[in-house]
């Protein structure tokens, strides 16, 4: 266990360092002078020099990176070059929105995907499989942002069942919070569930054909026990991997969903920052994404070891 | 007293390329405490026969005929009846002890599961019984092993776990489908000993399925030889080795070194010719293409086991092998 | 050496596809869609940019405008036809980009043990990286355009291609005829080109068939966000972006382009699935 944590820790640090360094150096290698962008009206050489000095742009990129890294370790991610707001403060308001959206969406996607995938595998060749397969194919083919538009059109604008846009923090008003987040969660969650469903179906079909499932049937177990205790548990190993790999799709999806439903989240912050070359914010975004990647990989490993004794973390092999 | 009586058992699979007849009019009977061997080349329908008894085949299989277990007809019986038979009255051991055990559950849990479903034991009691059963099949320090996962056990131990699971509810019939094929030679003998021992102690009837004549010689009381979905010869184990009547059996024996002495070391060697896994000609001897003694009548009329339905020595052959007197070595 | 292939023969593949009604229907829809897209400059009843301020927001079914007009009085049918053309162009360009980079990497990862760890880890990392951030970055640096959108989407699809090509290469490498070539002293590159690549074609084909609809959806998202095809060029994504403002007034302008995207993507996905099934040696008995 200790060996595992140690390896994990230094791998994580390396990933964080590399991701940040590549982006840090990369955006500075781009054409375009950020000082010019910052200067606004006054583009006199003196003003530009002052800006460069203020943001440390007159030093070498390595010095700049060292300073950035040192500040980041101390919890200071700088201030937005656009708004002058502290980046940590921006993250403080944006991240809770996206984390809530992402967690609920991935939960919905997993429940729907694993459920429908299992049904499709078990009811192979029956109407239920056709239905589940068809829905998954549609889920893969439909532009989800468009579904969002249509949902706003018919469920918000015409009927007023849901608010069309905006966000209320959970702690301010839980009911209003959920009311605002339901539609975005459904749109994002169903989008992700198609992939999970297809993966579940195919690994369930594999599991149902295994020898140990034959053994379970030969023991006289009920189908429910054969499927739940024996087949599903084993196919979840693959499903967990796939769910873990949805991080990229989840963030991309969150960007679009936030855009459509006007949620002030991480996705919106990202798009704005990249468009406006807001370096400190871009760096923070990359740092957060890399951290999420590391965290999710760690979580996936933990889940593996819960499901599969053969890869138990630090467990003694026979 | 026959525990299991099978008559005219046939299995036809529906496939993409049309119906596929895999088992054809198989007769079989198993007395209490008897060990009967079914031997034949790979793909001749042994496993399908075994699985068909308790309805374990996929829904693409059409099973006809009769299989009566202690007065209960199994073929066509409702799923609820079959579920009570499986694991409680007819239990199975499969070839691959690794893949036949669930990798993510402890062996204690997998053994206990049978007891919980059929005897309604609580988790704790089922675990205690699992420890006893592990001891019964000769696993050292069973109280410790009960919490192991399959990957922590050796192949032989895994097969012992499979056996413990199979005998947990004291079944009337134990079907051992290639129980030693995947194991090292040194481990095979131990597994066969366990089966013999259980027969003595629990009075279980055992159907041993194998393509290994060594296993048959080692453990079986009686033997059924299967070829292309049909039983072609039925004999006591000594009669079979001493005086085979079907030409296929004779070919098998000729192709194998003398069995018995190094039990389990002799695998069936292929005898010349293509193996027709399918029952191709309904009105002919399926072995005719490969038989040196084949004559015209062999190709127009199907030979049936003689005497039909009995348990004496019989062969499904129009021109049986002539007995060489005293050649039984 | 006559059995140097594991690809099911073409006749059998076609027979299996023809027997599957879904495959036939999706193929017909695809063919029609591709024809409409390719011929749209000639087929479309109006020039897609032609405005008519006297006839804005006419509903579908209006004579002369079967699918109605938008906020500038442009013909929705014509714009959808040319939008499908743009979608297909991006889809094909993106997948071509992904194949050109992904196939060699996948072959290398599957064939040379030394490369595997690096390439596979890289693919995992890329998979976790949100493609939208990449696309936004590219648009910020090089400007928003059809080509840049296609490149961004193509890059995002590389890991998927690497994965399938890698696992198929691993499978092929273990087959007898490849092992036999190794024994015969054939060079690695020769074996890859002669044996592995031709046999991996079917998985690449299937992957491409499901990557194109994903790319089409990606294009729609990018154009919707203003990062892809730029107005007034017709694109299904930009049509939806404009329609968003007028959705309450002219719901059809928000619904129809989305349906067109879905139809296109669905036809590809259904056909890709049928192709996969038909190529599966286990067939329908799986
Ligand atoms: N589900 C199935 N569908 C079609 N054919 C099958 C199926 N299961 C088994 N078979 C065929 O039945 C024949 C006998 O198989 P089996 O009983 O497993 O042989 P063995 O004697 O080696 O145990 C084989 O030719 C096999 O291909
Ligand atoms: S019936 Fe004829 S063909 Fe068949 S084994 Fe006997 S002699 Fe040979
Ligand atoms: Mg078998």
Q: Which of A137-146, A262-271, A284-293, C134-143 has the lowest mean pLDDT?
A: C134-143
Predicted local distance difference test score (pLDDT) of residue A40: 66
- Average pLDDT of span A295-309: 84
Predicted local distance difference test score (pLDDT) of residue B34: 94
Ligand 1 centroid distance, CA of B65 (Å)? 18
Looking up residue A107, the CATH number of its domain turns out to be: 1.10.3720.10
3-state secondary structure of C9: coil
| Torsion (CA) A83, A88, A94, A99 in degrees, nearest 10 | 160
- On whether the CB atoms of residues A56 and A63 are closer than 8 A, the answer is yes
Predicted local distance difference test score (pLDDT) of residue C228: 85
Which residue from A minimizes the CA distance to C284?
A: A125
Count of structural domains, chain A: 2
Asked if residue A62 and residue A32 are part of one domain, the reply reads yes
Q: Is the pLDDT of residue A262 over 60?
A: yes
What are the structure tokens assigned to A154, written together? 């018919």
Does C62 fall in a domain?
Answer: no
Bigger pLDDT: C71 vs A240 = A240
Provide the b/e sequence for B246-281 (b: ≥16 CB within 10 Å). Answer: bbbbbbbbeebeebeeebbebebeebeeeebbebee
Give the model confidence (pLDDT) of B149-196 as tens digits. 999 999 899 999 999 999 999 999 999 999 988 888 888 898 999 999
Asked if residue A153 and residue A112 are part of one domain, the reply reads yes
Give the model confidence (pLDDT) of C108-142 as tens digits. 998 888 888 888 888 877 877 778 877 877 777 77
Does A81 fall in a domain?
Answer: no
- What is the pTM (predicted TM-score) of this model? 0.84
Q: Residue A211 is nearest to which of B83, B99, B152, comparing CB atoms?
A: B99
Give the model confidence (pLDDT) of B203-250 as tens digits. 999 999 998 898 999 999 999 999 989 999 999 999 999 989 999 999
Does A275 fall in a domain?
Answer: yes
Give the model confidence (pLDDT) of B114-123 as tens digits. 999 999 999 9
Asked if residue A291 and residue A187 are part of one domain, the reply reads yes
What are the structure tokens assigned to B51, written together? 């699985």
What are the structure tokens assigned to A158, written together? 């015409």
Please give the number of the atom of ligand 1 that sits closest to the Cα of B58.
1
CA distance A50 to C180: 71
Contact B15 C284 (CB under 8 A): no
Does C51 fall in a domain?
Answer: no
Q: If pLDDT is split at 50, 70 and 90, which confidence band does B13 have?
A: very high
- On whether the CB atoms of residues B112 and B190 are closer than 8 A, the answer is no
Chain A touching partners, 3 or more CB pairs below 8 A? B, C
What are the structure tokens assigned to A194, written together? 């198609």
3-state secondary structure of B27: strand
Looking up residue C182, the CATH number of its domain turns out to be: 1.10.3720.10
Does C1 fall in a domain?
Answer: no
Predicted local distance difference test score (pLDDT) of residue A305: 82
Residue nearest to ligand 1 atom 23, measured at CA: B47
- Average pLDDT of span C23-44: 89
Asked if residue A25 and residue A127 are part of one domain, the reply reads no
Count of structural domains, chain C: 1
Domain extent at residue A37: 20-73
Instruction: Judge if the upstream peptide bond of residue B114 is cis by omega within 30 degrees of 0.
Output: no
Asked if residue A102 and residue A69 are part of one domain, the reply reads no
Does C67 fall in a domain?
Answer: no
- Average pLDDT of span A49-63: 78
How far is B99 from chain A, CA to nearest CA, in Å? 6
Predicted local distance difference test score (pLDDT) of residue A273: 85
Does A201 fall in a domain?
Answer: yes
- Average pLDDT of span A207-232: 93
Asked if residue A191 and residue A254 are part of one domain, the reply reads yes
Predicted local distance difference test score (pLDDT) of residue A56: 74
Q: Which of B90-104, B265-279, C194-208 has the lowest mean pLDDT?
A: B265-279
Give the model confidence (pLDDT) of A274-285 as tens digits. 777 788 888 888
Asked if residue A199 and residue A104 are part of one domain, the reply reads yes
Best substitution site from B9, B23, B47, B182 to test ligand 1's pocket, by max atoms within 8 Å of Cβ? B47
Predicted local distance difference test score (pLDDT) of residue C2: 36
Asked if residue A100 and residue A60 are part of one domain, the reply reads no
Spatial CA neighbour of B175 closest among B48, B58, B265: B48
What is the 8-class DSSP label of residue A273? Answer: H
Does C161 fall in a domain?
Answer: yes
Percent of chain C with pLDDT over 90: 25
Does C65 fall in a domain?
Answer: no
Q: Is the pLDDT of residue C149 over 50?
A: yes
Average pLDDT, chain B: 87
Q: If pLDDT is split at 50, 70 and 90, which confidence band does A302 have?
A: confident
Give the model confidence (pLDDT) of C225-278 as tens digits. 888 888 878 888 888 888 888 777 888 888 899 999 999 999 999 999 888 888
Give the model confidence (pLDDT) of B289-326 as tens digits. 888 888 888 888 888 886 666 678 888 999 888 765 54
Numbered residues of chain A with Cβ closer than 8 Å to any chain B Cβ: 210-212, 214-222, 225, 229-230, 233-234, 307-310, 317-318
Does A10 fall in a domain?
Answer: no
Predicted local distance difference test score (pLDDT) of residue B7: 92
Q: Which of B24-28, C149-153, C281-285 has the lowest mean pLDDT?
A: C281-285
Asked if residue A122 and residue A259 are part of one domain, the reply reads yes
Bigger pLDDT: C54 vs A205 = A205
Contact B102 A309 (CB under 8 A): no
ipTM of the complex: 0.87
Average pLDDT, chain A: 85
Q: Is the dihedral of CA A256, A260, A265, A271 positive or negative?
A: positive
Q: Across the beta sheet with B18-31, what order do the strands follow? A: B18-31, B2-15, B61-69, B72-73
Strand intervals (E) in chain A: none
Asked if residue A118 and residue A30 are part of one domain, the reply reads no
Does A313 fall in a domain?
Answer: no
Report CA-CA distances (Å) from B116 to A188, A218, B125, B200, B202: 42, 15, 9, 26, 20
Taking contacts as CB-CB distances below 8 angstroms, the residues of chain B near A210 are: 99
Asked if residue A67 and residue A165 are part of one domain, the reply reads no
Asked if residue A302 and residue A153 are part of one domain, the reply reads yes
How far is A169 from chain B, CA to nearest CA, in Å? 42
Give the model confidence (pLDDT) of B124-158 as tens digits. 999 999 999 999 999 999 999 999 999 999 989 99
Domain extent at residue C93: 10-46+74-279
């Amino acid at each position: 266990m200790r060996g595992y944590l140690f390896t994990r820790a230094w791998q994580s640090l390396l990933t964080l360092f590399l991701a940040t360094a590549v982006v840090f150096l990369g955006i500075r290698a781009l054409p375009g002078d950020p000082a010019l962008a910052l200067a606004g009206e006054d583009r006199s050489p003196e003003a530009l020099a002052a800006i460069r000095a203020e943001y440390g742009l007159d030093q070498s990129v390595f010095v700049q990176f060292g300073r950035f890294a040192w500040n980041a370790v101390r919890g200071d991610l700088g201030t937005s070059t656009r708004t002058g707001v502290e980046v940590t403060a921006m993250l403080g308001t944006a991240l809770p929105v996206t984390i809530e959206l992402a967690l609920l969406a991935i939960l919905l996607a997993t429940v729907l995907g694993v459920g429908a995938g299992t049904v499709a595998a078990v009811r192979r060749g029956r109407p239920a499989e056709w239905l589940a397969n068809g829905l998954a194919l549609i889920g893969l083919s439909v532009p989800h942002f468009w579904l969002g538009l249509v949902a706003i059109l018919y469920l918000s604008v015409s009927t007023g069942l849901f608010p069309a846009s905006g966000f209320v923090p959970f702690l301010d008003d839980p009911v209003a919070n959920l009311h605002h987040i339901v539609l975005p969660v459904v749109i994002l969650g169903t989008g992700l569930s198609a992939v999970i469903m297809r993966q579940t179906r195919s690994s369930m079909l594999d599991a149902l054909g295994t020898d140990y499932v034959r053994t379970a049937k030969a023991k006289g177990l009920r189908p429910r026990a054969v499927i739940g205790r024996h087949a599903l548990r084993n196919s979840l190993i693959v499903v967990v991997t796939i769910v873990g790999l949805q991080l990229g799709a989840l963030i991309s999806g969150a960007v679009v969903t936030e855009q459509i439903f006007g949620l002030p989240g991480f996705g919106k912050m990202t798009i704005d920052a990249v468009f406006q070359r807001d370096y400190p914010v871009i760096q923070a975004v990359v740092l957060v994404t890399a951290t999420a990647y590391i965290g999710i990989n760690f979580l996936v490993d933990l889940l593996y070891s819960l499901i599969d004794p053969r890869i138990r973390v630090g467990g003694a092999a026979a | 007293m026959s525990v299991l009586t099978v008559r005219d058992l046939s299995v036809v699979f529906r496939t993409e390329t049309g119906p596929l007849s895999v088992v054809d009019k198989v007769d079989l009977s198993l007395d209490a405490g008897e060990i009967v061997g079914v031997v034949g080349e790979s793909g001749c329908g042994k496993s399908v026969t075994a699985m068909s008894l308790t309805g374990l085949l996929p829904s693409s299989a059409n099973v006809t005929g009769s299989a009566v277990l202690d007065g209960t007809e199994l073929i066509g019986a409702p799923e609820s009846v079959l579920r009570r038979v499986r694991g409680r009255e007819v239990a199975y051991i499969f070839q691959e002890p690794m893949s036949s055990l669930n990798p993510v559950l402890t062996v204690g849990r997998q053994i206990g599961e049978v007891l919980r479903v059929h005897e309604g034991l609580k988790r704790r009691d089922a675990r205690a019984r699992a420890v006893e059963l592990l001891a019964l099949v000769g696993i050292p320090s069973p109280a410790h092993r009960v919490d192991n996962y399959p990957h922590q056990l050796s192949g032989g131990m895994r097969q012992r776990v499979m056996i413990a699971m199979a005998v947990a509810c004291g079944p009337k019939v134990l079907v051992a489908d290639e129980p030693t094929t995947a194991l090292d030679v040194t481990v095979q003998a131990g597994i066969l000993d366990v089966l013999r021992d259980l027969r003595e102690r629990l009075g279980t009837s055992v159907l041993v399925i194998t393509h290994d004549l060594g296993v048959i010689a080692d453990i079986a009381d009686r033997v059924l030889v299967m070829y292309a979905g049909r039983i072609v010869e039925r004999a006591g184990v000594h009669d079979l080795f001493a005086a085979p009547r079907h030409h296929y059996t004779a070919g098998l024996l000729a192709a194998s070194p003398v069995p018995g002495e190094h039990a389990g070391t002799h695998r069936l060697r292929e005898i010349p010719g293509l193996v027709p896994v399918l029952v191709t000609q309904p009105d002919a001897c399926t072995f005719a293409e490969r038989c040196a003694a084949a004559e015209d009548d062999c190709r127009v009329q199907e030979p049936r086991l003689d005497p039909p339905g009995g348990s004496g020595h019989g062969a499904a052959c129009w021109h049986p092998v002539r007995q060489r007197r005293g050649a039984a070595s | 050496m006559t059995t140097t292939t594991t690809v099911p023969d073409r006749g059998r593949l076609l027979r299996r596809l023809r027997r599957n009604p879904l495959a036939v229907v999706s193929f017909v829809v695809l063919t029609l869609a591709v024809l409409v897209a390719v011929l749209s400059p000639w087929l479309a009843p109006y020039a897609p940019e032609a405005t008519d301020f006297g006839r804005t927001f006419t509903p579908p079914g209006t004579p002369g405008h079967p699918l109605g007009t938008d906020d500038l009085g442009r013909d929705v049918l014509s714009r959808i036809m040319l939008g499908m053309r743009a979608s297909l162009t991006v889809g094909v360009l993106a997948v071509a980009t992904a194949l050109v980079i992904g196939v060699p990497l996948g072959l290398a990862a599957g064939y040379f043990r030394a490369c595997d760890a690096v390439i596979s880890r890289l693919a995992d990392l890329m998979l976790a990286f949100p493609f939208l951030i990449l696309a936004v970055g590219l648009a910020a640096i090089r400007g928003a355009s059809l080509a840049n959108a296609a490149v961004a989407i193509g890059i995002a699809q590389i890991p998927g291609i690497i994965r399938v090509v890698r696992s198929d290469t691993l499978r092929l490498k273990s087959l007898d005829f490849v092992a036999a070539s190794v024994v015969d002293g054939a060079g690695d590159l020769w074996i890859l080109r002669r044996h592995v690549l031709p046999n991996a074609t079917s998985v690449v084909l299937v992957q491409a068939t499901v990557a194109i609809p994903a790319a089409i959806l990606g294009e729609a998202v990018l154009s919707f966000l203003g990062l892809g095809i730029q107005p007034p060029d017709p694109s299904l994504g930009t049509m939806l972006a404009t329609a968003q403002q007028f959705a309450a007034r002219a719901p059809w302008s928000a619904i129809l382009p989305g349906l067109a995207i879905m139809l296109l993507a669905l036809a590809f996905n259904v056909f890709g699935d049928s192709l996969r099934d038909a190529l599966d040696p286990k067939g329908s008995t799986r």
